[in-house]
Amino acid sequence: MLAGVAVISGTYFLDSVKVSSELAFPATTTVSYSDGTPMAKLGEVTRYELPYDNMNDAVVKSIVASEDQTFWTNEGVDFGGVMRAAWNNFTGGETQGASTLTQQYTKNYLINVVYRNDTIGQKKAQEQSIARKLKEARIAIQLETKLTKQQILAGYLNIVEFSRQIYGIGAAARAYFDTTPEKLTVPQAALLAGLVNNPINNDPWKHADKATARRNLVLDRMVDNKKLAKADADRFKGEPLGVVPDSPKKPPANCIGAGPEAGFFCQYVEDYLLKAGGMTKDQLYTGGYTIKSTLDERANHEAKISAEAQVKKTQPYVANTLSLVKPGKDRHEVVALASNRDYGQNQDEGQTTYALPTGVYNITVLVNGKESGQYTNQRLRQGDNPPVVFDLAKLAEAAAAAAAGVAPPPKEEGMTKEQRAEYEKKLKEQEAAMAKDKALQDAFNAGMEAKNAKNYAAAIENFEKASVMAPTQHVVWAQLAEAYISRSDGETGDAKQTDIDKGIAAYAKAVEAKAEDANYHNNYALALAKGKKMDLAQAELTKAAQLDPPQAGKYYYNLGAVYVNTQQNDAAEAAFKKAIELDPNYADAYYQQALVLMNKVSLDKDGKMVAPPGTTEALQKYLSLRPDGVNAEGAKAILEQLGTTVQTSFERPGAPKAAKQPANQKKSK
């Protein structure tokens, strides 16, 4: 059964990607005593399945407010968000809603289920490409046709990672707050909802300040979404994070969790299933089984006391064992399996993880690396204990694949080569003019040297000094602005925003000192866009185009980028159209125009993706101008998707016919 999406039947084949009901998300296996009491959890992944009806209302409201505010009314795919993602948020900011929860569920399912043991597949499922986004969107459309909104949200909340291999809201509630999910408070739910955006960066134990800021942002979004009163949000912001001390509370991932008395029997069960039961360790540790054993907890405790009474647990080289077997005609149940030694990893306290003598081994003894003797048919434990093999070739291959990355997406246009040359010429002229003032010259030169070495702190310090000595020198302000903006690229949070704001202020001074310079207006606009001051950015780019008509196409292209990031799609379309009109061979403008048009994609009655007129032509024009350009693969991927049918039901080759599903119920609004 597919964990979280049990109602999907059959297998769905989508562009060489299959989503199958026979694929299950890795889940923890539970080993229990004979009375059903849990003994141990087996599995590196911590996850507990939770039906939607058991989802805390605060969790539902916080995750929707944080990740997809239109979840209950959208159709599962935000094509506008898909297209905006192609820009990779060129301003460096966050675009909320770039993927719907249905799309995020699709991505998580591909990574954690379909490609769980496939490094290359996982990499493809996360690559920043328009092709991947479109495939993800098609699968999301299928989920919307098969599942209710409640089922989709439950599936997402049961599969999303909350860092450190803690998957699903059920496991997260226990790990972070030592509580059950239905008891989560609003600020607790907001913290968890904020984690899914970036679990590592928002880790409350390592980055409490960032986790707090993210939690508070989720609370604000709940207010915006009318799911929380502002007064309550303000009160919750004053509360501490309240997570458990030091690190997440996770159960041991193996038989250590059974404790010093039952650990040996737990190990026996594991060995038996791997040897006689025909299971693989991956199946056992990820299958989410409940294994009810024959061990009687009380009987085992008494056996432990008896064994330890005869031989102390710290006695070296001696293992005094005792097993109790329940007599029977057909079954001989082991109700106790104890030793004087404790099961565990603290050798100083007499603990060991070596299994008790319940199997048959052939042993070769080595002393100082030389064979000392062989002993056959020795009864030591059930099953084999194979050596751990480190395949260095595979590790190297995986490391290379992880390091390969994806070609960076196209960025906004800055100055042309000719403009840069002219700019450098003017810069030299300004340097010559400032040579009369030695202190000013020294500060400016030191700033340039530090900036070129990417020592932005030193560059800023020297340019600040120069700006005080020459407050009307536009070149000083421009260089100071570049240093601030460059430093902001490597920062996060308040420090990032502070440097962006200072960079904007410095560019404003440069523009004030030389208002006729189109390049200053262009760069000022890009800084404003980085600071999310989109209206001002639009005005500056328009001004740049007016000041420098021969290069106006470049500025209109950047203006289109600003419109895209403010979701003004019609204005963006007009800006790219204007860029093309001014420069008919502007390849990137054709590509971005096609992306904007894809915002208006629709599905016809046969389930085919249909884009507005001009989309295909723009993509083909781009490919004719730049057949090997940086966006060529993206253009080809879009052309491949257009006009193809979005399939909603498939059958796995060779599989028996699946029973028909009842019609999907009306979705909650």
- pLDDT band of residue 115 (cuts 50, 70, 90) is confident
d(CA 634, CA 649): 27
**Is 300 a member of any domain?**
no
- pLDDT band of residue 130 (cuts 50, 70, 90) is confident
In CATH, what number is assigned to the domain containing residue 605? 1.25.40.10
Domain count, the chain: 2
Name the 3-class secondary structure at 630: coil
Nearest-5° angle of CA 375, CA 376, CA 377? 130
Last residue of a domain, one of 171, 206, 237: 237
382 pLDDT exceeds 50? no
- pLDDT band of residue 420 (cuts 50, 70, 90) is low
User: Is there a contact between 635 and 607 (Cβ–Cβ < 8 Å)?
Assistant: no
Domain holding 131, by residue range, is: 44-237
- pLDDT band of residue 400 (cuts 50, 70, 90) is low
**Is 349 a member of any domain?**
no
Q: What is the mean pLDDT of residues 383-403?
A: 43
426 pLDDT exceeds 80? no
User: Is there a contact between 383 and 275 (Cβ–Cβ < 8 Å)?
Assistant: yes
With tokens 């439950």, the residue in question is: 154
571 pLDDT exceeds 90? no
- What are the pLDDT digits (tens) for 605-645? 665 677 889 998 999 999 999 988 888 888 888 888 775 44
**Is 555 a member of any domain?**
yes
**Is 351 a member of any domain?**
no
With tokens 């030299």, the residue in question is: 428
Last residue of a domain, one of 237, 270, 293: 237
User: Which of 64, 62, 73 has the alpha carbon at shortest distance from 105?
Assistant: 64
SS3 track for 570-629 = HHHHHHHHHHHHHCCCCHHHHHHHHHHHHHHCEECCCCEEECCCCHHHHHHHHHHHCCCC
User: Is there a contact between 517 and 488 (Cβ–Cβ < 8 Å)?
Assistant: no
**Is 211 a member of any domain?**
yes
Per-residue DSSP letter, 181? G
Q: Which amino acid is at 504?
A: I
Element (H, E) at 85: helix 79-85
**Considering the chain, what is the average pLDDT of its residues?**
77
290 pLDDT exceeds 80? yes
- What are the pLDDT digits (tens) for 146-201? 889 999 999 999 988 888 888 889 889 999 999 988 999 999 999 999 999 888 88
pLDDT on residue 284? 86
In CATH, what number is assigned to the domain containing residue 80? 1.10.3810.10
Last residue of a domain, one of 181, 204, 237: 237
Single pTM value for the model: 0.56
d(CA 233, CA 31): 42
Per-residue DSSP letter, 47? E
**Is 550 a member of any domain?**
yes
pLDDT on residue 506? 93
SS3 track for 276-334 = CCCCCHHHHHHECCEEECCCCHHHHHHHHHHHHHHCCCCCCCCCCEEEEEECCCCCCEE
Q: What is the mean pLDDT of residues 309-336?
A: 81
**Is 334 a member of any domain?**
no
**Is 26 a member of any domain?**
no
Share of the chain above pLDDT 90, in %: 23
